Each structure stands twice: as structure tokens, then as C-alpha cells.
Amino acid sequence: MTETRHPDRRNLGTKPTLTWVEGDALVQSDDAGTILHRFSFDAIADVRLAVEMAGQTSQVVCRVRNHDKQEIVFGSMTFKGPGVFEGRYETFSALLRELHVALLPHRDRIRFLEGQSMAFMITMFALGALILAMGIFFFIVLFLQQENPMGLGMIAVIAGGVWLVRLFWPRGPKAYDPETYARTPEAVTPPAADQ
């Protein structure tokens, strides 16, 4: 199997990285070649795939965590500037496949998960509930009590709150079969955006 080096930069506050499978480990270095992380396959506790925001669009992000709770993170899009992300789909897909092929012999002791963490889901659900509550409160005060037509504008705020609450209703991530991503890239379907 050829070694794919996937270039990535998560956001403005992080440096560019390269991630690849090397022997029996997943390795990540900075763009100067300094090794940041080297997780042997025996040290990997879980692999999580989730859809995350990338500017005005979304991307698939892979988070590999070891038993010491350290993470190697790489995504299908890389940060280029505020609000600007560039797709790196070919190297992302190839690395994802190489990683899953390499981890198949270890599959019984690694958790393979799709979806956001419960902490993230609860945070976003709480934000949606707060927006919904504020929208309802100001609709009642402005439109129903003060009979101010500007209160009708709160309907959009209420709708946004309902959308967030529904989208981030707390649910745990789902387990997936690593063989799904060990197949050829054409067979790989990224997780749905609402997970």
C-alpha cells in the first residue's frame, strides 16, 4: 500500500500538519517535519468520524484518540483563511482507507464511531433551547403584550431555535464497521450531516 501524506490545517489558531500511516502507527507532523504525534495501533482507543463546519460548508473530520486521551485530527477540507476552506478529498479519502485497512486486525479493541460527541450535542442543544426560549419570550412581550408588529420577527428566531434543538437532540454516536472505509474510495460514503 502506498503511503499517503494528508496535508491539513484545522483553523486559524493551528499550524499546518501532515498525517500518514507509517508501519504500525498513525503519525502526524507539522509542516517543518517535526513529529507531533505517533500513535501505535495498539495505543488507539477510538476512531470517530463526524461532519463539522468548514466556513459556510461542511466537511468530514476524523478524530483518532489514544488511551491517554490525546487526539490526531484531520479533515477533508483545510483552512486557507477566515471563512475559506479548500477540499483535500483525494488525500483524505486515501488516508482514511489506509488507516482503516491497517486497523482491521485491531478492530475488536477499538471503538469505531460516527457522529458528534455527546458533550458537543448537549452544548448545541442547549444553545438551540436558549435561542428558542428567548424567541418565545420576546414574541410574547413584543407581539402579544405590546401589540408591536416587530414581534413577528421573533418567528424566525423561534424557527432557528427549533431547528437547532431538532438537529442536535442529544443522541450518542453510532458504531460503524471499519470495513466500510477499508474499501475502495468509490465505496466510501461519508456520515450524514445530521449525525
Q: Which CATH architecture has domain 6-116+173-187?
A: Roll (2.30)
Whether residue 53 is predicted with pLDDT greater than 80 in this model: the reply is no
Q: Where are the domains of the chain?
A: 6-116+173-187, 118-167
Query: Which grid coordinates belong to 147?
Result: 401589540
Task: Measure the CA–CA gap between 47 and 112, rounded to whole angstroms.
Answer: 5
Opening angle at CA 77, ends 195 and 68, nearest 5: 65
pLDDT for the residue 191: 56
CA distance 183 to 110: 18
Dist CA 59 CA 37 (whole Å): 23
DSSP-derived secondary structure letter, 186: G
Encode pLDDT of 111-133 as tens digits. Answer: 999 987 777 778 888 988 999 99
Q: What is the pLDDT of residue 20?
A: 97
Q: How confident is the model at residue 185 (pLDDT cuts 50, 70, 90)?
A: low
